[in-house]
A and B are shown apart, each in its own frame.
Chain A
Amino acid sequence: MKKLPRREFLKIAGLIAGSSIVASNFLWLKDIDAEIDTDRDIKLGIIGIGSRGKLLAEILMDIPGVHIVALADDYLPHLEEGKALIGKEVRGYSDHRSMLDKEKLNAVVIATPLHEHARHIVDAIEAGCHVFCEKTLALNIDQCNAVYQIAKGSGKVFYGGYQRIFDLKYLKAFEMISNGDIGGVRQIRGFWHRNDDWRRIVPKPELERKLNWRLYHDYSCGLMTELAVHHLQVINQMFNTRPEAVWGVGSINHWKDGRDALDNVNLVYKYPGDTHMVYDAMISNRHYGLELQVLGSKGTIELETGRIWYEFPEPAPGILQMLHHLEKRIFQSIPIGGPSWVPETAIKEKEGWVLPNNLEDDGTRLQIESFIKDVRKEEVNPFLLDQAYDAAISTLMGFESLHTGKVVQWPDNAFII
């Protein structure tokens, strides 16, 4: 797939982000098409330099004026890999506190296991750093509340790792949905299917929980906090809302290897206005892969692939209708006859794309660049923290329902922002 030149890509990004609907709902996108300003160097540290940390580091290393000066990871092989990736000048720490104390960092990127997020975010903010933290915000509601309160009053930039709100396909789809292109939205269907055991190779048995932290509830909420949270965050943001209630069923019905994490979950979220979101995730079949489908009375949008279908498309030109008839063995009159010299305005196929499909970018790069721009300007956008919080609570509601079998309302001890 051909990649667009950066200038062209940014131009398209600016056009989409600049539309009145997107601009007024995604306030953090206002400088999305601006080139990176290099008038101020950024000293940055990364806490957690595993696979995701390394991916973020590679993007950061491409941004002019960003200097990754320190890494912290308590798993030495990851730390060594990170240092090798970034270069000899970067300093490595096995303890993030030491890094925060010794380095005068402007910003910190956190890509650690979920149970560490709250501690790492709070420590980084208290050390005076702007923070980018991978999803999900924290492991439980109490931790989310603590992080939210500290970050909210800190005056520091906070970004949660929800790249889809920087994904141009999603943004364009949001504009189309807001414009009523697919009519009233009454149901959303999301799914994330894989077919693997979700395990990492463990060199020594005592490292099982440390490296396979996604499988154990002391460290993670499994499929909910590692996968479903992305889609819940998008829906909350797109519809400027949060779920009222959720009911789910879950089980471990395939990977019965001593893990806590469910490998098969199904949930129904109820949103205001009786809009439902049906969600499922599994790791024993990947046929349907990953998708988020918004079902409207006039059309359907699939957000992950950026496709759109209309319920009532304009009739196809006569010849095309005839071809459809022939394929279906239908003998029927075709509306072919028309007066001469009428321009033949071709009607598109029923399926379309919200954007040219060569705009392959999941938003991660734009999001990281946006974070750096805000850090340089020390411009705090409170909506990003609010969204990260709402997404986390929505996810934890689902997790609770999966394990209690009960309908779970928006928790009394969670904030309503």
Chain B
Amino acid sequence: MPQDIFRALKQVHRVSQNTDGLFNCWGGQKYNKQKFSEAIEHENYELTAPHLSDIIFDEAKSTIVSRNSNAQIDSGGFGKGLAINAIREILDSYKVHDALISFGGSSIYAKGQHPYGPYWPISIPHYYKTDSHALELKLYTTCVSISGHHPGQRKVKPHGHVFHPENKHPVDRNRVAIVHGPDAVTAEVLSTAFLMAPSNRMTSIAQAFSLYAIYVLTYDEGHEVNLTFKSIEHEEVTQA
């Protein structure tokens, strides 16, 4: 396969391995059947997606081999990050110093600073209070990825769109994971992983990504939002 695709997938795979198995983009064939199914029966949750160890990268041949025939790449959890990294190269080549790139608000890259301030300020809206926000971030040549389930989707989607690679069930819909750091692909993979990470494993996973600020927001039944995990105390993160 082309070198740039190979390198990108290898990066995704490497980051995935550091998520304690919580991010797996190789189960697309099975996953897609579930993702868009209107009515899911419980037994259909038993997916047989490849394990990360089933995927073998051959540097010399620039090929990827799977030991599991169900392997199919689902780029939904990292594709926008790849696009942002490609855009960053273009912006750098044209010596654009200040810019903000947003893919639907869920993958954002801010380069340089706001025209009227020292950084790019963004906020994560509160789902249930339109005049309020749940979190504020300062971006300065950094990336943010947000994963979660908007409550409005419950009207049109039978279940959440992310499946847990360990228990094969759709992930609960009351959580939002936000990752702020230097690389867009890594931020995307981590935000998906933290959407399903058990609370007792969050700290250990976050330790492998010390350059990233990871936040987990949880909505309770009263529609109040709580910051249930924060990986670093200070807001500043390392620039790209």
A interface with B by C-beta (< 8 Å): 314-315, 317-319, 322, 325-326, 329-342, 344
CB pair A331–B144 under 8 Å, yes or no, is no
Q: Look across to chain B and name the residue whose beta carbon is closest to the beta carbon of A314.
A: B130
A-B contact pairs, 17 of them (CB 8 A): A318-B105, A333-B123, A333-B133, A333-B136, A334-B121, A336-B105, A337-B105, A337-B106, A337-B108, A338-B106, A338-B148, A339-B147, A339-B148, A339-B149, A339-B176, A340-B104, A342-B153
Q: Name the distance in Å between B156's Cβ and chain A's nearest Cβ.
A: 9
Bound complex: CA of A332 vs CA of B117, how far in Å? 9
Q: Look across to chain A and name the residue whose beta carbon is closest to the beta carbon of B173.
A: A339
Bound complex: CA of A319 vs CA of B122, how far in Å? 10
Q: Name the distance in Å between A274's Cβ and chain B's nearest Cβ.
A: 31
Residues of A within 8 A of B230 (CB): none
Q: Look across to chain A and name the residue whose beta carbon is closest to the beta carbon of B192.
A: A340
- Chain A CB within 8 A of B63 CB: no
Q: Contact partner of B102 among A318, A332, A333, CB < 8 A?
A: A318
Which residues from 116 to 157 on chain B have a C-beta closer than 8 Å to any C-beta of chain A?
116-117, 121-125, 130, 133, 135-137, 144, 146-150, 152-153
Q: Name the distance in Å between A80's Cβ and chain B's nearest Cβ.
A: 68
Q: Name the distance in Å between A218's Cβ and chain B's nearest Cβ.
A: 62
Q: Contact partner of A344 among B104, B116, B125, CB < 8 A?
A: B104
Which residues from 157 to 193 on chain B have a C-beta closer than 8 Å to any C-beta of chain A?
161, 176, 178
Residues of B within 8 A of A339 (CB): 106, 146-150, 176
B interface with A by C-beta (< 8 Å): 76, 80, 100, 102, 104-108, 114-117, 121-125, 130, 133, 135-137, 144, 146-150, 152-153, 161, 176, 178
CB pair B102–A331 under 8 Å, yes or no, is no
Q: Name the distance in Å between A196's Cβ and chain B's nearest Cβ.
A: 48
CB pair A337–B104 under 8 Å, yes or no, is no
Bound complex: CA of A341 vs CA of B178, how far in Å? 15
CB pair B100–A322 under 8 Å, yes or no, is yes
A322-B100, A330-B116, A331-B116 known; A338 and B121 CB under 8 Å?
no
Q: What 10 A-B pairs have minimum CB-CB distances, sorted nearest first?
A: A339-B148, A331-B117, A333-B121, A340-B106, A331-B116, A337-B124, A338-B105, A335-B125, A333-B123, A342-B150
Bound complex: CA of A329 vs CA of B117, how far in Å? 10
Bound complex: CA of A64 vs CA of B58, how far in Å? 82
Bound complex: CA of A178 vs CA of B147, how far in Å? 43
Q: Contact partner of A329 among B100, B116, B147, B149, CB < 8 A?
A: B116
Q: Contact partner of A336 among B76, B122, B153, CB < 8 A?
A: B122
CB pair B122–A333 under 8 Å, yes or no, is yes
Residues of A within 8 A of B153 (CB): 341-342
Q: Look across to chain B and name the residue whose beta carbon is closest to the beta carbon of A341.
A: B161
Q: Contact partner of A332 among B106, B121, B176, B178, CB < 8 A?
A: B121
CB pair A340–B146 under 8 Å, yes or no, is yes
A337-B108, A337-B178 known; A342 and B152 CB under 8 Å?
yes
Bound complex: CA of A359 vs CA of B135, how far in Å? 46
CB pair B130–A315 under 8 Å, yes or no, is yes
CB pair A337–B150 under 8 Å, yes or no, is no
Bound complex: CA of A341 vs CA of B105, how far in Å? 10
A335-B122, A338-B148 known; 8 other A-B pairs, CB under 8 Å? A314-B130, A319-B105, A330-B116, A337-B135, A338-B146, A340-B76, A341-B106, A341-B153
Residues of A within 8 A of B125 (CB): 335, 337-338
Q: Name the distance in Å between B204's Cβ and chain A's nearest Cβ.
A: 25
Residues of B within 8 A of A334 (CB): 121-123
Q: Name the distance in Å between B214's Cβ and chain A's nearest Cβ.
A: 14
CB pair A318–B115 under 8 Å, yes or no, is no
CB pair B147–A340 under 8 Å, yes or no, is yes
Q: Name the distance in Å between B87's Cβ and chain A's nearest Cβ.
A: 15
From A326, A330, A337, A338, residue with most partner B Cβ within 10 Å: A337
Residues of B within 8 A of A326 (CB): 115-116
